[in-house]
A and B are shown apart, each in its own frame.
Chain A
Amino acid sequence: MKSVEAIIERALGLKPGSIKDDASAKTVTEWDSLGHLKVLTELDSEFDGKLAEIDALAEATSIKQIREILLAKGVLTG
């Protein structure tokens, strides 16, 4: 299972290692509203379609927020 950072790098067409765990839509140019649609699609695909029910992800525009939501929903563990 890829890390959240790696999934987002792939979604936004960024080099591996370019996204750090404090990254957000405010700090990553490619992570605009269109980029966020790609992030949501890539995350949902990586997690086998399990994320479609998690409405809160629509507004989660930082690594921290995404990770917190996925942990709370049991999609990510520890």
Chain B
Amino acid sequence: MKGVRVSGIEFHLGGLREPNQDLLLDNPAWDLSAIEQATGITCRSLAKEGECASDLAVEAAEKLLVRGLVRREEIDALIFCTQTPDYLLPTTACGIQERLKLSTATAAFDINLGCSGFVYGLAIASSMLKNGLAKKLLLLTADTYSRLISKTDRTCRPIFGDGAAATLLEIVEGRDEIGPFELGTDGRGGDKLIVRGSGLRSTPPAHEASATTLSGSARAAMKMDGAGVMMFTMSAVPKAVSALLKKAELGKDQVDLYVFHQASRSVLDNIVRHLDLPDEKVFRGFAEIGNMVSASIPIALKQASDQGRLKPGQKVLLAGFGVGYSWGTCMLTWNA
């Protein structure tokens, strides 16, 4: 019997540090205490000038390769999950293949998902590995949302950070260590977290057209309906988790650690309240780095392992959720 294993995770954060105090430079009237209470975030890692998501992803991948878990010529599939690609075309994963000097026999492609992206990436990777399309797959998750956020946006700016994670997945003899999965979508939430004018569909309304983003450029900026997104997470995520546990034939207490997308304190507190989970089983590692979008879950897994919160053989429940609306949950046996 063959299964799929997560064999290793490494991450790389944006090179700038932005403590909450720095928010006052552009926004002297902001109440930092209220912001920290709502978000649970005291500092964010942000991309340096000129640093793109693919740069962060390549750094994370190189860290993983240095560990010697896999030789770069053995990698035969690369999935890059991002919503901040280098270009609309070509596919950023193609450029990463070249930069990492992977074989040209590598299947490389992007997936455009945000905070649900890691779980979807695991689902796609698992399917490819089990169907013989790959033996050793590199799943990279990275974003530089700071490039899309207005300096004066109090909903988005205090929350999002820039970073990347590299996850190695491979076929192993024995039990499957990833799955089952519960994936879902509700496109009615599409306009709740959006960058209008960022694609080819429409010209953004004037007030969204040229916000000065953190990178100093004038471009269409991200808009998030914080209340709408929070209501969605309170409703959809507990249901998805409950459905997953039922599918996995597990009770809540049989999960060793819950690693949710590290969205913000308000969002996580409400999900934990709805599921009635003990705090000690819920990992939170985002306070000093921010919400890392699709990299947040793998970063949290690595943090949990490094802190001794996650040990080999333990059962972890992962739940990613957000922009789209999109969500995904899965079980993972930790052996990285």
A33 touches B266 (CB 8 A): no
5 contacts between A and B (CB under 8 A): A34-B34, A34-B154, A37-B266, A52-B234, A54-B231
Cβ contact within 8 Å between B274 and A49 = yes
Distance in Å from the Cβ of B131 to the closest Cβ of chain A?
Answer: 37
On whether the beta carbons of A58 and B225 are closer than 8 Å, the reply is yes
Chain A residue numbers with a CB within 8 Å of B238 are 52
Find chain A residues with CB under 8 A from B31 CB.
Answer: 34
Chain B residues with Cβ below 8 Å from A38 are 38, 266
Q: State which residues 259-285 of B face A: CB under 8 Å.
A: 266, 269-270, 273-274
Interface residues of A (CB under 8 A from B): 33-38, 40-41, 44-45, 49, 52-55, 57-59
Q: How far is the CA of A55 from the CA of B232 in the complex (A)?
A: 8
- Tell me whether A41 and B269 are in contact in the complex, defined as CB-CB below 8 angstroms, given that A34-B35, A57-B231 are known contacts: yes
Which of the four size classes fits the interface of chain B?
A: 20 to 34
- In whole angstroms, what is the CA distance A54 to B232 when docked? 9
Q: Which B positions have Cβ atoms within 8 angstroms of A?
A: 31, 34-35, 38, 154-155, 225-228, 230-232, 234-235, 238, 266, 269-270, 273-274
Q: Tell me what chain B mostly uses at the interface: helix, strand, loop, or mixed.
A: helix
User: Does A41 lie within 8 Å of B35, measured CB to CB?
Assistant: no
A45 to B226, CA, bound (A): 18
- Chain A nearest Cβ from B160, distance in angstroms: 16
Q: Which residue, B231, B266, B270, has most C-beta atoms of chain A within 10 A?
A: B231
| B230 close to A40 (CB less than 8 A) | yes
Chain A residues, Cβ within 8 Å of B269: 41
Closest A residue to B276 by beta carbon equals A49
- Whether B270 contacts A55 by the Cβ 8 Å rule is no
The answer to whether B231 touches A55, judged by C-beta atoms less than 8 angstroms apart, is: yes
A53 pairs with B273, CB closer than 8 A: no
Q: Are B270 and A59 in contact (CB under 8 A)?
A: no
Q: Please give me the residue from chain B that is nearest to A41 by CB atom.
A: B270
| Known interface pairs A33-B226, A34-B38; A53-B155 also in contact (CB < 8 Å) | no
Distance in angstroms between the alpha carbons of A54 and B154 in the assembled complex: 25
18 further contact pairs, Cβ within 8 A, besides A35-B34, A49-B274, A55-B232: A33-B155, A33-B226, A33-B227, A34-B34, A37-B38, A37-B226, A38-B266, A40-B227, A40-B231, A41-B230, A49-B234, A52-B270, A57-B227, A58-B227, A58-B228, A58-B230, A58-B231, A59-B227
- Chain A: minimal CB distance from B257 (Å): 23
B274 touches A52 (CB 8 A): yes
**Is A41 within 8 A of B266, CB to CB?**
yes
Residues on B with C-beta less than 8 A from A57 are 227, 231
- A55 to chain B: which residues have CB within 8 Å? 228, 231-232
CA gap between A41 and B37 in the complex, in Å:
13
User: Nearest-CB distance from A16 to chain B (Å)?
Assistant: 21
Chain A residues with CB below 8 A from B226, complex form: 33, 36-37
Q: How far is the CB of A46 from chain B (nearest CB, A)?
A: 12
Q: How far is the CB of A66 from chain B (nearest CB, A)?
A: 12
